[in-house]
Structure 1
């Protein structure tokens, strides 16, 4: 245990640890200490330091000392050179290639070239939560509070300083999904695959409105489907079209099964169709009562497929191993969509209006009492402890918020008007889609930080 440590860094070979400490009532007694893996002191220097980092050469230890970036010998801590970063500096991070620094004061954020002192300013105020560089140093993401309970992350090109938002849509963002290395968003007739640093990777185009978006369990494929009566499977890395499912009579939606097969649902048709991963029709599932259903949802363990009737207060559940006759579940009222919580215990039932929603026990198939709070659930956290909800008016979706689950106590408002969100499986990111045509990738840790 290191008492009073404020900044720490391991050497590249893992044999030394450097840390900065402060003591005294004002923190005026400051030192940088170097120890080996056993904790044995190597050397120390009386100095105020933060943002410690060993350089790639293994011979240099860098830290910020007030308004300067100092380069010290990694063994003796002797000062080699110092670079002035600016005035009243509050934060700084060295680029991965060690050629420039990203610096902030209380008003602004900028890039400083360490060889030429050239400055590139970013059009954003001081970051409330901090900032991070992409591994290739080409993009900078800044997390900033916009007001009480709201905030956002914005990505910039580090060469030009220009903002790189996820704004590749002329219409409202209607679908969002997470990838391990980025995100997918859908506007009206076009989907966009984004890199983690905000650069567009590929465009997924349809001839008419896209109604559904899903990512395979292994993260390698994307399926989109819609009003052009086609479902298209895309390579998630390249955006290359892999399979086109066509010949449907009306609008179509599509989702993946856990084994990579595809389920399609045609508007107004009393059947679901199972396709092989290559797109061939494997079997057709007749829906009891002649019902048509909304887009199905797959349980987290992949064993159950659930869909709600579009004409009656009923839901259906299929065993995905056998796809025998489905279980019919009677509901108190008609539901537009079913959504599993990631723990597999609960199914959230969504109506299309701002009225109390209900839940279904996924083990007993008993519908639980309705909440007294009107909300529309649109995403669930990986640990099933919170949800993202939106309020509904006759013409729009408003005020996305994070609520505790199942108590529905409010945690954060997001300041986003839109009906789509996705909590990423990595547990670190939340993607929201707005009616203004933009999507935002949020840091979950920053969103849920007490007092953040």
Structure 2
């Protein structure tokens, strides 16, 4: 006809001061509700375009608002962690449903999980910790963490052969179980100088402090027994005599002191050095103390008189960086700032051999128990070298290309290096640096054990009896913790070659399931920590794995967009579920074992009928679905998404029922308590929120029916 069509008519509802996040018509179409970042909800008259009422009361952005119960109520959700119910008839706020915010983590929460009795909740975080919470009070019970916060710089093996101690600039000393690799005890406020020694009976720990004191601790009880004051600068080196009668200490100004260990009395000031004391040691007979200094000398002191043995001074051309006494006190090895390592005959005070490592400062020297090998740690080149003491020749090992190489090269392995020592009781070498210590086979240079904190804690789960907690980390390991003591009891490591994404106990508590980016899911004996089975899925990342309610099956979810069901005993594939268009983040079983729910990066969740394969797609999120869970009666399901919301769904119809929008960032995890009274959400904002579902049931029964 040639006549231009008229532009579509529209009506503007103006009144909000900030962006509008959601809008919804009432059932009769006469009114509209809107939620805004101006912290308000408005009710509008469609005919007049005017706001009938503004609902004020939220303390932060209102993300969503919806009509409930045949148009009688409005439910609003805000970033202030509150749900509010409003009566439309009289425009009054009926009730505030405030989620209890659990805020102690300093980085994103990646997983939340209730204990089987519903009394505890655990949160796993990117801040490398897991925290258990009392659900009734919202207060933290235990923080599950171990290892140094930063800069571990020294270590010593306990003479019992079962433990070792590490000291760090983080003002702590940690005692580790060598066999399990777990932290046995920690001593706080030990000073930042990281100077330590242990008595021959493994009962006493001596530490030197930047607070100018020497502290003596009971290793068994952790009690501080004595504090020895007298230094006027940082205590940089400490030692305890073989008979435990004396302690020797040196400081940053070059002063050395000899103490009565039991009374704490200062016996002698060992005067002679003019610069920092870098090492101090008793000879095995307990009658002589050697002190190494930045003034280019090693001093020798008579314990009884405190006088220096002038004819036994070991003179160097430059500052001494480290010292090791060996061969029953007959020899010593020193590293010097001139780059050389010298072997000394302590009887003649003469050099018997000189060794020249690679360029750089040798920060530590150590000699093997058989007195045949020397170990040097070059902190500048980050290289560990082994030497034959008899010939002075370097003992190299074959590299990947067949060429010989230094014993350990941290430039290739990554990580810091500060100290290396031989183990006196194992065929191994301990290296210290960064946040950890690592034990290596002294022949093959393969890592035997690591003593370090978790990396990012991605997942956590309670055992069925609540006595144990398992955590999985992006450091490729899992740890089993005692929930009463908060101590790690066992490590599950060196089996995965990628991030551990999920950890779960079997229903009977006898097995632990881990899934990893290395394309495997592994089943472990929960008591021994031994691996029982590995479920292989090459060329993909396994993001989630879960036992069936009866423990007979396992379902894994992976980046290849599939769910795979396995026989938990035989390890055979039983069934594959396909339907997602993007990688799957998480999978969960229904409590009756008949359904699965999966969340995907395609922004959807799918409920699967296991027997028939029927799919119900839950569509509504605007970003990847990170977590999924069924309600205890299986009639509802919650999904958590990177879009900052958690949504409640009817599992039969697939209809969305409720949206929680209180987190400031993506919601990473959601879980129901066993009785359905609580829902917990965890977020990238570092907070977990506990929601009381009974409030939703009482106030909006047709919206949330969690308990039948």
Structure 2 length-normalised TM: 0.34
Q: 2:588 aligns with which of 372, 379, 388?
A: 379
CA 1:291–1:283: 2 relative to 1, 3 Å: farther
- Corresponding position of 2:107: 208
Question: What's the offset of the Cα at 1:443?
Answer: 4.1
Q: 1:164 aligns with which of 76, 80, 91?
A: 76
SS at match of 1:440: strand
The CA distance in 2 between the partners of 1:341 and 1:299, in whole Å, is 8
The CA distance in 1 between the partners of 2:598 and 2:113, in whole Å, is 20
- Corresponding position of 2:565: 359
The CA distance in 2 between the partners of 1:286 and 1:105, in whole Å, is 56
The CA distance in 2 between the partners of 1:235 and 1:107, in whole Å, is 45
- State whether residues 144 and 487 of structure 2, in contact with CA within 8 Å, keep that contact through their aligned partners in structure 1: no
CA 1:233–1:199: 2 relative to 1, 3 Å: same
Is 2:135 aligned against 1:236? yes
- State whether residues 399 and 416 of structure 1, in contact with CA within 8 Å, keep that contact through their aligned partners in structure 2: yes
Q: 2:534 aligns with which of 324, 329, 336?
A: 329
- Corresponding position of 1:405: 610
- State whether residues 388 and 403 of structure 1, in contact with CA within 8 Å, keep that contact through their aligned partners in structure 2: yes
Q: 2:503 aligns with which of 296, 311, 314?
A: 296
CA 1:444–1:227: 2 relative to 1, 3 Å: same
The CA distance in 1 between the partners of 2:595 and 2:645, in whole Å, is 23
Deviations 1:46-84 (A, max 9, x none): xxxxxxxxxxxxxxxxxxxxxxxxxxxxxxxxxxxxxxx
Extract structure 1 runs of 4+ deviating beyond 6 A.
Answer: none
Question: What's the offset of the Cα at 1:221?
Answer: 0.6
SS at match of 1:413: strand
**Bigger relative CO (Cα 8 Å, ≥ 6 apart):** 2
Could you say what the CA RMSD is over the residues aligned between the two structures, in angstroms? 4.0
- State whether residues 155 and 164 of structure 1, in contact with CA within 8 Å, keep that contact through their aligned partners in structure 2: no
Aligned residue pairs total 277
Comparing 283-292 with 213-222, greater Cα deviation is found at: 283-292
- Corresponding position of 1:278: 484
SS at match of 2:103: strand
Question: What's the offset of the Cα at 1:438?
Answer: 1.7
- State whether residues 566 and 575 of structure 2, in contact with CA within 8 Å, keep that contact through their aligned partners in structure 1: no
The CA distance in 2 between the partners of 1:161 and 1:373, in whole Å, is 37
Question: What's the offset of the Cα at 1:433?
Answer: 1.6
- State whether residues 166 and 198 of structure 1, in contact with CA within 8 Å, keep that contact through their aligned partners in structure 2: no
Is 2:646 aligned against 1:439? yes
- State whether residues 478 and 492 of structure 2, in contact with CA within 8 Å, keep that contact through their aligned partners in structure 1: yes
- State whether residues 244 and 279 of structure 1, in contact with CA within 8 Å, keep that contact through their aligned partners in structure 2: no
The CA distance in 1 between the partners of 2:535 and 2:643, in whole Å, is 38
- Corresponding position of 1:426: 633
The CA distance in 1 between the partners of 2:496 and 2:615, in whole Å, is 40
- State whether residues 226 and 252 of structure 1, in contact with CA within 8 Å, keep that contact through their aligned partners in structure 2: yes
CA 1:437–1:288: 2 relative to 1, 3 Å: closer
Deviations 1:333-352 (A, max 9, x none): 24232122334332111113
CA 1:336–1:441: 2 relative to 1, 3 Å: closer
- Corresponding position of 2:98: 199
CA 1:367–1:306: 2 relative to 1, 3 Å: same
Deviations 1:183-230 (A, max 9, x none): xxxxxxxxxxxxx99531333341011122111111111111212122
Question: What's the offset of the Cα at 1:369?
Answer: 4.9
- Corresponding position of 2:469: 262
- State whether residues 109 and 124 of structure 2, in contact with CA within 8 Å, keep that contact through their aligned partners in structure 1: yes
Is 2:455 aligned against 1:250? yes
SS at match of 1:295: strand
- Corresponding position of 2:354: none
SS at match of 1:426: coil
- State whether residues 165 and 198 of structure 1, in contact with CA within 8 Å, keep that contact through their aligned partners in structure 2: no
- State whether residues 523 and 532 of structure 2, in contact with CA within 8 Å, keep that contact through their aligned partners in structure 1: yes
The CA distance in 2 between the partners of 1:429 and 1:371, in whole Å, is 21
Structure number with larger C-alpha Rg: 2
Question: What's the offset of the Cα at 1:445?
Answer: 5.6
Question: What's the offset of the Cα at 1:234?
Answer: 0.8
- Corresponding position of 1:94: none
The CA distance in 1 between the partners of 2:652 and 2:97, in whole Å, is 19
